[in-house]
Structure 1
Amino acid sequence: MLIKEYHILLPMSLEEYQVAQLYMIQKSREESSGEGSGVEILANRPYSDGPGGSGQYTHKIYHVGSHIPSWFRALLPKAALQVEEESWKAYPYTRTRYTCPFVEKFSIEIETYYRPDSGKQSNVFNLTAAEKRQRIMDTIDIVRDPISPNEYKVEEDPKLYRSAKTGRGPLGDDWLEGAMASGPLMCAYKLCKVEFRYWGMQSKIEQFIHDVGLRKVMLRAHRQAWCWQDEWTELTMEDIRQLEEETARICGEGSPVSDI
């Protein structure tokens, strides 16, 4: 198992991030709906006294199609293109687990705490000494971390983007120092555990999943969260719930709850 803890910093409040996250989930679902994008809802219910306290539990099966990332499809035989997702959402805490029924020794687990700080908490997940020794720390910077040329978009570059509605941006290389001095500032602490227990392939595949399936996706998504703020900054949670209901009707997914 390869365990990495990612710290993703953004110059926004936890309340803003929650709206941004939910908005982006709905937008991505609208774009990925269509033929071959079936989602089977096995459970969608509130829980209490569970991960993060009280929240919403969902259990879904993503069938072959655009819902399964291309990097994931490349790993699996065509007959195995379905993924199960279990998710516990109790913002500002979330936990999500992915498994594949046809690949018994494979799993991805992502546990997240969202905190209004600069990402300096060294053990927000209360790991044991052995777990801390196994964990690799990785801070994601939406401004300075490189994006591959084929994925780069001018309109999603925080170094160039300026919000017409809030006046924030563009962000320079020293954006973090400014946010620490005057705020707002938040960090998404993400503990990601990837296991692919097949001899001769384990290390390479686990590293690949972290690099391509997790870190790369999280960097792009959080750049978008910042650069799309004119689309979500005036939305209320009531607006978001209405978007969720509309998306559910279009995509046939019930009440969607997911993660970036």
Structure 2
Amino acid sequence: MLIKEYRIPLPLTAEEYQIAQLFMIQKKSRLESSGVGSGVEIIKNEPYSDGPIGDSGQYTYKIYHIGNRIPVWIRNILPSSALEAHEESWNSYPYTRTRYSCPLISHFSVEVETKYLNDSGNSENVFNLSQDELKNRVI
């Protein structure tokens, strides 16, 4: 498994970032939802308890329709399942896990774990990785 860790210090608190993030997700979803074959389809948006992370939080399942982002000549030869990306997200702020997948490639997915901290990016092992995982981690 590939483990890459990015530390991005921001000029605002984790609480301020949470508000900004929610605003920008909503705005980008709205802007991307224009025309046929485009947009974000929200399949589920519901609270969860006893999820894969945290005691409780918000679960979302979205489908990104990306057909209008691909040249017509490529779009015409691809199956419709290749023209969408699926996103599942478990948000237990300040910790979030998101999985991206494509129905065309059923055994492939990318998972992103995010932790928002009020520091300058110098906290060590915020994901409680094992010694083997720490050896493989790239910062």
Normalized against structure 1, the TM-score is what? 0.46
SS of match in other structure, 2:126: coil
1:48 aligns to 2:49 (yes or no) = yes
C-alpha RMSD of the superposition? 2.1
Structure scoring higher RCO (CA < 8 A, sep ≥ 6) equals 1
Q: Distance in 2 between matches of 1:39 and 1:16?
A: 25
Identity of aligned residues (%): 58
Partner residue in 1 for 2:31:
31
How far did 1:57 drift? 0.6
Partner residue in 2 for 1:93:
95
SS of match in other structure, 1:8: coil
Q: Distance in 2 between matches of 1:78 and 1:5?
A: 33
Cα distance change of structure 1 residues 25 and 109 upon mapping to structure 2, 3 Å threshold: same
Q: One-letter code of the match for 1:103?
A: I
CA shift digits 1:235-254 (9 cap, x unpaired): xxxxxxxxxxxxxxxxxxxx
Cα distance change of structure 1 residues 39 and 20 upon mapping to structure 2, 3 Å threshold: closer
Structure showing the higher strand proportion among its residues: 2
Q: Distance in 2 between matches of 1:27 and 1:39?
A: 11
Q: Tell me, yes or no, if the aligned pair for 1:52 and 1:94 is still in contact at 8 Å.
A: no
SS of match in other structure, 2:48: strand
Q: One-letter code of the match for 1:20?
A: A
Structure 2, unaligned runs of 5 or more = none
Q: One-letter code of the match for 1:19?
A: I
Q: Distance in 2 between matches of 1:95 and 1:25?
A: 16
SS of match in other structure, 1:2: coil
Q: Distance in 2 between matches of 1:21 and 1:83?
A: 20
1:132 aligns to 2:138 (yes or no) = no
1:10 aligns to 2:10 (yes or no) = yes
Q: Distance in 2 between matches of 1:78 and 1:101?
A: 12
Structure 1, unaligned runs of 5 or more = 138-260
Q: Tell me, yes or no, if the aligned pair for 1:99 and 1:108 is still in contact at 8 Å.
A: yes
Normalized against structure 2, the TM-score is what? 0.82
Cα distance change of structure 1 residues 40 and 29 upon mapping to structure 2, 3 Å threshold: closer
Alignment of 1:109-124 (within 5 A): 109-124=111-126
Aligned length, in residue pairs: 130
Which of 1 and 2 has greater Rg? 1
